[in-house]
Amino acid sequence: MARSQQTYSKGEKEKKRLKKREEKQKKKEARKAAAKEKGGGIEFAYVDHNGNLTDTPPDPSLKVEIEAEDIILGIPKKEEGDYEEVDPVRKGKVSFFDSSKGFGFIIDTENNEKYFTHVSGLIDEIVENDRVSFELEKGKKGMNAVRVKKI
């Protein structure tokens, strides 16, 4: 005689699956019943004049008419007076410099930021605690001090 293909664990899994399906169906029916009691309609969300979502309709008296020609797409062009003059030369103090390895660090006096400098970016020879003027340039790992001169 052949044995049944269905094992105990298969039967239990099937029962759990059917029970889960029934529970899901009951929850679905309960939601439908609650929606009928509540009114069954779709609730609306309105956007007020500030762009916020509300459940009350906006007041038509607060509506603002905007002409299509007044809408500017893109970045506005800068006028001559809009530019801010920034001095690219900064001042600082050499906090560390190793002449044998050819690199060091300069601390900016304005914002106390530490900038890396390399011997290739030096105009004058520098040592630790020298006051220097320098310019910043984007490097591989951040901003580097270049065109470094003693003050």
Please write the tens of the pLDDT for every residue from 63-112.
888 899 988 888 877 777 666 666 789 999 999 999 999 999 999 999 99
CB 119 within 8 A of CB 106: no
Please write the tens of the pLDDT for every residue from 111-145.
999 999 999 999 989 999 999 999 999 989 999 99
Radius of gyration of the chain (CA): 36
Task: For residue 19, give both structure tokens.
Answer: 């029970």
CB 123 within 8 A of CB 95: no
Q: pTM of the entire structure? A: 0.45
Half-sphere exposure of 89 (CA within 13 A, CB side): 7
Tell me what pLDDT residue 85 has. 62
Alpha carbons 71 and 8: distance in angstroms, whole number: 71
| Residue (of 134, 75, 68) closest to 104 by Cα position | 134
Higher pLDDT, 18 or 64: 18
